[in-house]
Amino acid sequence: MKPLRIILLLLVISFTRTFCEAQPGLLNFTYNDQPFKQYEKFEWTINLSAAFTNPYDQHDIKVDMEIISPSGKQLGLPCYYESGDSKASVWKGRFAPQQTGEYRYTFVVKSKSGEWRSDMNFITATATAKQGFLHKNNLWTFKYDNGELFRGVGENIGWESRSFENDKYTYDYLLPKLAKSGGNFFRTWMCYWNMPLQWKKVQSTKRYHKSGDYFNPGAIKRMDELLNLTDSLNLKFMLTLDWHGHLMEEGGWKNSNYNAANGGPAKTPAEFFTSQEARAMYKNKLRYIVARWGYSTSIAAWEFFNEVDNAAFTGADSVLIPLHTITEWHDEMSRYLKDIDPYGHLVTTSVSHRDITAMNAIPYIDFNQKHIYKHTDKIAAIYPDYISAFGKPYVIGEFGFRWEDDDQKYGNDADYDFKRGLWYGMFSPTPILPMSWWWEMFDQRNMTPYFKGVRMISDEMLKAGNGSFEQVTATSGNIETYVVKCGKSYFVYMLNNTYGTLPPKIVFPVNGRSFTMQYFDPATQTYSNHGIVPAEGGKLTLNNVHPGLKKERVLILTAK
């Protein structure tokens, strides 16, 4: 009987080993030898033995880190697939700690064949002088993790040069110029010619190529490079994850991975929003983006769509895609994105000129956006209506003298429009100043250095009021005048939008008896002192401060 018991025992051991090897399991994990620092990327390499068919489909397999921060907050961090197969695959976990102190973490593997959880591990984050991630603060500013305030000054750099455009217009050329000129913010797209993450078929580009991979490897590589560049320049940006042309029959739909004709889950653009399979596919994309790039403090905001109304309506404003389905989609996706993003990045989307009203009230959309063309003069009046209706920050994500093209024959008018649009935003409740379109034209016209003066005044306003902004109503005849009180200082923007030469009389209420006055010339970016100005009866009266024909001027008056 003794030999029989040995044989039975050996059979049990053999069966147990075979059973265990069939389960999802973590072979080992390692991490880089760099210090674990606050707001900096730290990376784990995770080696698995787990069955899967599509490692990018979270319903097939997914790897997460469950993290407990030093303050006790529980965080979930998605990890992403790097390489390998079911026998041996490599995954990455990228994390940037927002707090200092000891973190506890566990890796969790879930697949169709089961679930596996590692032991608890410990790692300690040390402090840095970095600012952290941007979050909502109030109608005028965003706030970093460290408490510093932020207002965005910059432009759209929608994409790098397409195959038929000047090759020099790359991120490597444009972004250092923007940063050197005082810009701190820009907006850029993912689409089939620029960082085409979820596009197998690309178009209008020599930079990217068709790919049979689930995610386009060229897009992954370029996004990695973009974050390295923006981190080095201390630039923040809004990443637009999709654009309206994707869902237009005459646009990108014929090449879309979501199109059933290409093996996708949606037969029509409308089904992009309603199909559960399409929604699951989009969530896979969001998960990958957060897992691979969410660590970056350079990413200020995720924007779901550029001008989604242009996909919803025809040119004659007939409805192509039911608006309630677009709203429901944004509600679900914004909720999901907030759930999987441990850093709390800002979330937004945008429309062109037709509102999808219910979308403005979605709770997980942090700020609303609209684009304004040919009506830059109306920008200042737009903010109060939207803010009073929805109680959220409002941003003009694009503006311009024309939307049709960047014909240089309109260059002087475009330059004028470029300047005043920035100042209208500066003196209005918005955390990001209006962002111009046509970046190539403005580069050719040497307008990028103009951002420096705008940024100078923005920094002055933030410093003077420590984040306090109060609009003040002024009377000024035929001169456009905007006044904002920041602490003890009053900032005044004047624009002579006429050809009149009559010096205006500017009057506005103040707190204080006398004020030092400075002029700031945005064209030369220089200050000049203009003595003491007395107030009478709680009002300040300024005479003979005419900015010149079609010119502008900024005044800074500080209570003594």
| Mean pLDDT taken over the chain | 93
Whole-number pLDDT of residue 314: 87
Question: In which region does residue 114 sit, left (phi positive, over 0), alpha (psi from -120 to 50) or beta (all else)?
Answer: left
Alpha helix segments (H runs only) across 238-365 = 269-274, 276-293, 309-312, 323-340
Instruction: Give me the mean pLDDT over the 38-49 stretch.
Output: 96
Q: Are 241 and 289 in contact (CB under 8 A)?
A: yes
Task: Flag whether 14 is in a domain.
Answer: no
Domain end point (choices 101, 125, 149): 125
Task: Please tell me whether residue 260 adopts helix, strand or coil conformation.
Answer: helix
Domain boundary among 82, 98, 125: 125
Specify the pLDDT at position 250: 82
Report, as an integer, the average pLDDT of 123-139. Answer: 98
Q: What is the mean pLDDT of the segment spanning 276-294?
A: 98
Going by C-beta distance under 8 Å and a sequence separation of 6 or more, which residues neighbour residue 79? Answer: 44, 46, 62, 63, 64, 65, 91, 92, 93, 107, 291
Same domain (yes/no): 149, 57: no
Q: Are 291 and 228 in contact (CB under 8 A)?
A: no
118 and 146 together in one domain = no
Domain span including residue 318: 134-465
Q: Any idea what the CATH number is for the domain that residue 37 is in? A: 2.60.40.10
Residues 216 and 351 in one domain: yes
Summarised one tens digit per residue, pLDDT across range 457-491 is: 999 999 999 999 999 999 998 889 999 999 999 99
Is residue 112 domain-shared with residue 142, that is, in the same domain?
no
pLDDT over 80 (residue 527) = yes
- Give 52-98 pLDDT, tens digit per residue: 999 999 999 999 999 999 999 999 999 999 999 999 999 999 999 99
CATH of the domain at 485: 2.60.40.1180
Q: Which of 543, 383, 527 shows the shortest CA–CA distance to 457?
A: 527
Q: Is residue 355 part of a domain?
A: yes
The values of phi and psi at residue 268, to 5°, are -135, 160
**Integer Cα distance of 459 and 72 in angstroms:** 35
How many residues does the structure list for the chain?
560
Same domain? For 236 and 262 the reply is: yes
- Tell me what pLDDT residue 478 has: 83
Tokens of 97: 């700690």
User: Do 292 and 396 sit in the same domain of this protein?
Assistant: yes
In a domain, 1, yes or no: no
Q: What is the pLDDT of residues 185-216, one digit of tens each?
A: 999 999 999 999 999 999 999 999 999 999 99
Within a domain: 517: yes
Tell whether 431 and 390 lie within a shared domain: yes
- Is 23's pLDDT higher than 60? no
Q: Which of 125, 154, 175 is the last residue of a domain?
A: 125
Domain shared by 540 and 398, yes or no? no
Structurally, how many domains does the chain consist of? Answer: 3
The mean pLDDT of 309-336, rounded to a whole number, is 95
The larger pLDDT score, comparing residue 557 to residue 10, is at 557
CATH number assigned to the domain comprising residue 433: 3.20.20.80
DSSP state string for 138-151: SSS-EEETTS-EE-
**What letter would DSSP give residue 129?**
S
C-alpha span between 269 and 312 (Å, rounded): 9
Provide the pLDDT for residue 500. Answer: 66
* Residue in the block written with tokens 């003890």: 488
Residue 534 lies in a domain: yes
Residues 195 and 283 grouped into a single domain? yes
Residues with Cβ within 8 Å of residue 509, at least 6 apart in sequence: 472, 473, 538, 539, 540
Q: Which residues contact 396 (CB under 8 A, 6 or more apart)?
A: 369, 370, 371, 372, 379, 382, 421, 425, 430, 434, 435
* 310 and 233 part of one domain: yes
- At 114 the three-state DSSP class reads strand
Q: Please, are residues 439 and 155 in contact by the beta-carbon 8 Å criterion?
A: yes
Instruction: For residues 324 and 239, state if they share a domain.
Output: yes
Q: Does the pLDDT value for residue 11 go beyond 60?
A: no
- At residue 544 the predicted structure's pLDDT band, cuts being 50, 70 and 90, is confident
What SS3 class is residue 294?
coil
Question: Do 174 and 232 share a domain, yes or no?
Answer: yes
User: Does a structural domain hold residue 453?
Assistant: yes
Percent of the chain with pLDDT over 90: 87
Question: What is the longest distance spanned by two Cα atoms in the chain?
Answer: 117
User: For position 34, what pLDDT does the model report?
Assistant: 87
Residue 5 lies in a domain: no
Measure CA 93 to chain center: 22
Using the structure block, give the residue that is written with the tokens 């089961």: 114
Burial environment of residue 529 by CB neighbours within 10 A (0 to 12, 13 to 18, 19 or more): exposed
The answer to whether residue 110 is domain-embedded is yes
Q: Is the pLDDT of residue 4 over 90?
A: no
For residue 93, give Cα distances in angstroms to 24, 63, 66, 72, 297.
Answer: 18, 9, 11, 20, 16
pLDDT at residue 14 tops 50: no
Q: pTM surpassing 0.75?
A: yes
Tokens found for residue 125: 């984050």
